[in-house]
Amino acid sequence: ALAWLDTIAERLDPELDDASARTLRAYAVHVRGLAGDIDPAAAIELYREGDLDVDALAWIWPSIIDDATRSEIERTITDRAVETAGTVTFATSYDESSALIAVSDRRTDAIVLDALITQAPDSDLISPTVAGLLAGQTRGRWANVHENAFVPLALDRYFDTFEAVNPNFVARAWLGDRLVADDVYVDRETVRRETLVPMPVLLEEGAGDVVLQNEGVGRLYYRLGLRYAPSDLSPDPVDAGFVVDRVYDAVDDPDDVVRLPDGTWEIAAGSTVRVRITMVADARRNHVALIDPLPAGLEPENPALATSTTTPPEEVDGGGEGDDGGDTWLGPWFDHQNLRDDRAEAFRDQLPGGSYEYTYIARATTPGTFVVPPARAEEIYSPETFGRSRGDTVIVR
């Protein structure tokens, strides 16, 4: 088998595209290295050919002995990291031919994680990459056979490297001089302990440091979050992982919905309105919720009812567009939606990077002037990765 891998370049289909061929050769170098047949010459030859994607770089990295080249590979991999507040993923650039070599996003993350653990164990990217892989599960597994092989292999190496010691420690946290948490962890457990500090206490402490201490042996994982309500009822848009925009369109008569020069929306009472939310994620996101609060003067229509307003085929209610849901025959981009009295919600477990559109129909039922909170998108279990539109004022006349 090793001899076969040593001459793999001669055995590849000549019609195979160059990128896929280089990736297969890099994997052959990696497998030979695992078996003790390290080939620095083959690894450096591949590197000098250029145009290696991030997983191919991760595969040849352990076989590179030149320090300058090793530093270049680490810098390239670091540059490909896409960070949120709690996770890291890695950008890839394969085209349609990637199916030939079973490329997938989480497999690439796992391959890079494995290389970082062995080649750069002090990297700050390791723990958030693990968090990203764990968040990428659906019902306890990943999306395909290759992910379900490479991800557990990488996680196994992670735990063997960083979790070898049985935990036995005391975790403490201070807010300024005030002790706010003091918890004991013995042996391996899945219990999470949470401490809530009320906003008045934060204001009383003023500007100061949060200090965390791990006394004992074992690895401490923690999350710090701040939950607050803005005092401005019409806040500006925010992009902290998502870009979100909201518009109201008339369905029957274009004059039913008018946007005034100050940004206020004016809607005719009794008219039908299409609410259109655009959401952009610059990279993969996990367990996403898109939530649009409704003005109190509008009521959503249930698209499942025969009496509800229908829209043209190219604008299916609740449909979307994105990397895997651009055409209506593919179905909507979301996994599930809720149309409630006060808001519309759409959810997706694993959201590829891209631009998505969510629309639904509402009817203006109650005259008045209404303040509408922003539409927002967030990762449900990491709400610090979020985005919101601007707040709006809607007048129903």
The set of residues, in sequence order, having a beta carbon less than 8 Å from that of 375 and lying 6+ positions away, is 244, 245, 246, 277, 290, 291, 292, 293, 388, 389
Evaluate whether 227 touches 244 at the Cβ level (below 8 Å). Answer: no
Amino acid 128 reads P
pLDDT in tens, 113-160: 999 999 999 999 999 999 999 988 888 899 899 999 999 999 999 999
Question: What distances in angstroms separate CA 53 from CA 98, 230, 321, one per listed residue?
Answer: 11, 43, 27
Q: Which single residue is written with the structure tokens 């279990």?
A: 381
**Total-model pTM:** 0.81
**Strand 392-396 to strand 265-267: parallel, antiparallel, or no bridges (unpaired)?**
parallel
Residues 6+ apart with CB under 8 A from 140: none
The DSSP letter of residue 223 is: -
Integer Cα distance of 221 and 188 in angstroms = 13
Q: What is the pLDDT of residues 318-330, one digit of tens each?
A: 444 443 333 345 6
Q: From first to last of its 397 residues, what are the pLDDT tens digits of the chain?
A: 999 999 999 999 888 888 889 999 999 999 999 999 999 999 999 999 988 989 999 999 999 999 999 999 999 999 999 998 889 999 876 666 677 788 888 999 999 999 999 999 999 999 999 999 998 888 889 989 999 999 999 999 999 999 999 999 999 999 988 999 999 999 988 888 999 999 998 888 888 899 999 999 999 999 888 888 888 888 889 999 999 999 999 999 999 999 999 999 999 999 999 999 999 998 889 999 999 999 999 999 887 777 766 554 333 334 444 433 333 456 799 999 999 999 999 999 989 989 999 999 999 999 999 999 999 999 998 899 999 999 999 999 9
Pairwise CA distance, residues 50 & 36, whole Å:
25
- CB-side neighbour CA atoms (13 Å) of 97: 10
Residue located via tokens 């039908």: 272
Q: Is 329 helix (H, G, I), strand (E, B) or coil?
A: helix
Helix, strand, coil percentages (3-state) for the chain, rounded to 5, are: 30, 30, 40
CB within 8 Å of 149: residues ≥ 6 apart: none
Token pair, residue 85, equals 């507040």
Residue 357 in tokens: 């559109």
